[in-house]
């Protein structure tokens, strides 16, 4: 029997472009991501990306990695997993809430988020 210490990657993607309003949202503790196929009217407010791994659903206790920075996931909205899987869309909110404010939200610990750029890596790994 073989065991591995590698965490289960639930979602992995690479940012392909960052909308002009994203830095302002990030300073407010919010990051909106959307798959590359997002309607043009959303491009200014989100980080577009190309999903590479989508395995199972995101759960509280999982860890979001934005490049080299990690954040504990505290709550997952009722449609967040469906939106992430189907559209590559979710709103990460660093608000410390254990109840997602909106159905598509994933709430994180209340700490500053890093700015993303083209080529940034976004990963969600299962709680260990």
Q: Which CATH architecture has domain 9-125?
A: Beta Barrel (2.40)
Task: For the beta carbon of residue 98, count every other beta carbon within 10 angstroms.
Answer: 8
Query: Given pLDDT bands bounded at 50, 70 and 90, which one contains residue 3?
Result: low
pLDDT in tens, 30-57: 999 999 999 999 999 999 999 998 888 9
pLDDT recorded at residue 4:
57
Average pLDDT, the chain: 95
Catalytic residue among 43, 49, 89, 117: 49
pTM of the entire structure? 0.93
Domain spans in the chain, listed from the N-terminal domain onward: 9-125
The answer to whether 49 is a known catalytic residue is yes
């Amino acid at each position: 029997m073989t065991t591995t210490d590698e965490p289960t990657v639930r979602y992995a993607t690479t940012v392909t472009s960052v909308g002009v309003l994203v830095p302002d949202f990030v300073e407010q503790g919010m990051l909106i991501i959307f798959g590359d196929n997002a309607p043009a009217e959303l491009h200014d407010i989100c980080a577009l990306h190309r999903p590479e791994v989508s395995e199972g659903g995101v759960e509280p206790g999982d860890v979001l990695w934005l490049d080299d920075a990690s954040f504990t996931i505290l709550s997952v909205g009722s449609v967040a997993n469906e939106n992430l899987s189907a559209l590559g869309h979710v709103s990460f909110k660093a608000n410390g809430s254990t109840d997602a404010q909106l159905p598509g939200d994933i709430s994180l610990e209340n700490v500053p988020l890093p700015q993303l750029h083209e080529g940034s890596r976004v990963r969600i790994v299962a709680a260990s």
